[in-house]
Structure 1
């Protein structure tokens, strides 16, 4: 792919202002795109345009919002191979992961198109008291106004889609700051959105240096901020957001439990996927695996065999599993964390070698309780194994984390399923699959340091709208 210049999008229109941001091919390290960077003055203009677009967007009929989203669905399908190629290059993904993300991009916009025509309200019975029997009441949802979004590098399409698609469905103008390492996918979405008949100022997509990004969080004209990224950055931004509500999805170190009556081969196959797809760069990647002592040795042997056989190679080959991490520095960090766990008494069972920014998938047993592999989010291709014998104690172990996004449990006992659902301090409990499972209409988010609020189109629309009451006295 030859180096290409790309614009930012200001008030729906492309602007080729400069070529300041270099976007690298993560497999070769070469410059693949040069992207226009925006400064604080441009962000200010984008917010002003969004404010101006607030009423036209709110008054845009539901069918027009739906049709804009369906136009995107059609164009994503037409440009599927191009979208896949961009993900391989800018995101460092292998084809199987890139293809899966494009599928989810399409599904997310499809769901948003459907939800755009289902934003309703409710009639409230008022005759609950003699003083109110002559009244009728009802409420509806109205757009909250201009909103801002900040997204990370690991899912350049789908994490952007989960913000901008519900904003369009709800009738909220938005400004988006995509990750500087992977902005091209968001700009392609901007290109397609610019084909739609949306009010001027409905969207701006701006690559912005950190020193020029404060308005995304602090500007009082914005009525909501939605952030996906690290917990350290997320909580810092929340402290600066002022009066506006904040939605944050901040990741975790997801646990997976495999009970003694589980189908071992099935559990191994799903943990293999959950731990190592996208080289572990997912906030719900399987990181901690608790296995019942009765099946631990069998499970460990089979998992390590499968992990050791995961193929590397050409990222465009459908069979290739292993891709690079987003930077070589991240790869070095992952290997350092593995070494720290081994130095503390853990046992490296397979993998862990590094070549440039690629780390061979690793399995580590008996990781010390205070090691980074146990308490932090590794965001790399590493799974830890530990034994358990008591189910209740295993639930406590899962909860023994500052994170709480999703947990996966391979169990058959309905009593244990209910106990896990009641006791686990997470946003989602996934039974007989890994915590990495997500369908894009589900409520998705976490507790503790994993964030605030829920994504999933319907739930994001609720955050981007307000309830407006109407009470009428019969005279």
Structure 2
């Protein structure tokens, strides 16, 4: 199937994304169309599923789960390593597909596919090290004469619901880690990226993933709700907005959940920071993928003594960014996912201006393409400060006191990741301790992630941690074996005097 998808891409034809159920690529009742936000034409179609298809996929996944669990970790790891190499081999074509479906610049798409390869390789490594423990039961009187052991067993049926902004790499995290753990996985694709999702599933199948290990379903919210509510599903990994995450939790009921939700990321620039370097980093990471990242730089707080210098350097750095065709290798900023998302950014920038902020750059759009927007000095009640923009806009504000700015950062209902530019270690540890976030990036912006490091948030940013090692913990269950009357430890509670 990957060959078919890539051939359509090479022929400049719309990519068709069938569903994959029961080991067969199938065209179901109707096809949804994806209009590329930059090219403004149909770039992919998807075979959307109905209730019968969903029921069949759930039944098959439940039946296949014991079979996939029997596959040795070494075999799972070999498949994932093969898939990692395949991602690298097809990186150019896959990046082009991302550009067409999402308006993501080629340079960002190439980076995402490189991360897919890295993520799958890490999943392979983690599959090889899944183990258990010998428990020290004889350390307490009640355990004397017994032995106990644990191992991490596959959870069974996993559900992976992926977002549009990084559909390839986040699917690699979820499906790769689930397979590494020994599960079968139901994949629900984002409607904005059906072709990319089908391509990654096909890549894994072509690399040796058994057909019993994955089912791919295309559809909207009703499809996701039906899958979440299925009693056969044992664990759900969802990445998306906070409201949708709450709906997932309600539909799921008493299931294990990993929810990576929204963000309103803050970066603090202290007076001792390298202002020029900080400005360049914030410009590059505030507008990459048109700001459509849950950790994208949104709020920048700069010490008042350096505020004017930072704004000058930041504006100059933003002026160097190239806005245009995402298929052009030189483009830094393509389009947003659709015109409605672009309009939200422009509307919020206009609101901030009415509240007294300065719009130093941008604040306008051409279709789904938003020019990089700089909002200077918005008040705390502006939407660009209070809510998740998820777009090509950065708000820059001055602060006077470090303790106060940390508290200000914490006023957000989100808490995913933050950035801090300083050389003062006391401030580093203070921020690490006090900031209500899942991760802190020092001398970098909030928008930095290593795929083999735990990633996730607090508050409305969700719970659980993405990254293969930590996902595998959630995708497995601890099973304990206790041996009565058989001990690997000493089983005497006192010594006699036979040696005296």
1:73 CA displacement: 1.1
Instruction: Tell me if 1:234 matches 2:245.
Output: yes
Q: How does 1:410-429 map to 2 (within 5 A)?
A: 410-429=421-440
- The answer for the alignment partner of 2:219 in structure 1 is 208
Q: Kindly provide the CA deviation profile for residues 378-400 of structure 1, in whole angstroms up to 9, marking residues without a partner as x.
A: 01111111111211111101111
Q: State the partner residue of 1:396.
A: 407
Residue 139 of structure 2 aligns to a residue whose secondary structure is coil
Of 122-131 and 17-26, more deviation after overlay is shown by 17-26
CA distance in 1, matches of 2:75, 2:223: 34
Contact 1:223/1:245, CA 8 A, preserved across alignment: yes
**Is the Cα–Cα contact under 8 Å of residues 220 and 242 in structure 1 kept in the other structure?**
no
Question: For structure 1, which segment, 16-25 or 244-253, has the greater mean C-alpha deviation from structure 2 after superposition?
Answer: 16-25
Q: 2:261 aligns with which of 250, 256, 276?
A: 250
**Larger Rg belongs to:** 2
Of 362, 368, 371, the match for 2:379: 368
- Alignment match of 1:408 (pick from 419, 427, 435): 419
Q: CA deviation at 1:350?
A: 1.5
SS at match of 2:167: coil
What residue in structure 2 maps to residue 340 of structure 1? 351
- Alignment pair present for 1:72 and 2:83: yes
Q: Could you tell me how far apart the structure 1 residues matched to 2:16 and 2:140 are?
A: 66
* Contact map agreement 2:280 2:313 (CA 8 A) in 1: no
- Answer yes or no: is the 8 Å Cα contact 1:94–1:322 preserved in 2: yes
Q: Is the contact made by 1:251 and 1:377 (CA closer than 8 Å) also made in structure 2?
A: yes
Q: Work out whether residues 284 and 405 of structure 1, in 8 Å CA contact, stay in contact via their aligned partners in 2.
A: yes
TM-score (norm 1): 0.97
Whether contact under 8 Å (2:98, 2:109) holds in the other structure is: yes
**Partner of 2:69 in structure 1?**
58
TM-score, length of structure 2 as denominator length:
0.93
For structure 1, list consecutive stretches of 5 or more residues without a partner in the other structure: none
Relative to structure 1, the CA distance from residue 349 to residue 197 in structure 2 (aligned partners, 3 Å threshold; closer, same or farther) is closer
Is the deviation greater in 457-466 or in 346-355? 346-355
The answer to whether the 8 A contact 1:11-1:202 is kept is no
Across the aligned residues of Structure 1 and Structure 2, the Cα RMSD in angstroms comes to 1.3
Matches within 5 A, 1:7-86: 7-17=18-28, 20-86=31-97
The alignment covers a number of residue pairs equal to: 475
Q: CA deviation at 1:4?
A: 3.7
Partner in structure 1 of residue 398 of structure 2: 387
Q: Is contact 1:149–1:216 with CA below 8 Å preserved after alignment?
A: no
Say whether 1:124 aligns with 2:166: no
TM-fit CA distance, 1:200:
4.1
Structure 1 match to 2:102: 91
Distance in 2 separating the partners of 1:91 and 1:12 = 28
Q: Would the aligned equivalents of 1:12 and 1:194 in 2 still touch at CA under 8 Å?
A: no
Q: Which residue of 1 aligns with 2:231?
A: 220
Matched with 1:276 is 287
Rounded to whole Å, the distance in 2 between the matches of 1:339 and 1:5 is: 39
Q: Would you say 1:165 and 2:156 are equivalent positions?
A: no
One of 445, 466, 469 as aligned partner of 2:477? 466
For residues 196 and 331 of structure 1, the distance between their equivalents in structure 2, rounded to whole angstroms, comes to 38
Corresponding position of 2:154: 143
Secondary structure of the 1:159 match is helix
Separation in 2 of the partners of 1:220 and 1:118? 30
Matched with 2:4 is none
Q: Distance in 2 between matches of 1:230 and 1:283?
A: 9
Please give the per-residue CA displacement for 1:379-426, whole angstroms capped at 9, x wherever unaligned. 111111111121111110111110000000001111111111111100
Shift of 1:314: 3.2
Shift of 1:355: 1.1
Query: Residue deviations 1:77-118, cap 9 Å, x none?
Result: 221111111011011111111111111111100100110111
**Maintained 8 Å contact 2:15/2:195:** no
Distance in 2 (alpha carbons) for counterparts of 1:237 and 1:213:
8
Aligned CA distance change for structure 1 residues 78 and 199 (closer, same or farther; 3 Å): closer
Partner of 2:163: 152
Render the CA deviation track for 1:207-256: whole Å, top value 9, x for unaligned: 02333332221111100111111101111221221111111111211000
What are the Cα deviations for residues 51-75 of structure 1, in whole angstroms up to 9, with x where unaligned? 1111111111011100111121122
Quote the offset at 1:199 in angstroms: 4.3
Q: Aligned with 1:204: secondary structure?
A: strand
Q: CA deviation at 1:265?
A: 1.3
Contact 1:127 1:133 in 2 (8 A): yes
Helix, strand or coil at the partner of 1:20: strand
Report SS of the residue matched to 2:406: helix
Q: What are the superposed Cα offsets for residues 279-322 of structure 1, whole Å, 9 maximum, x if unpaired?
A: 10000000000001111110111101221232123323332112
SS in 2 for 1:166: helix
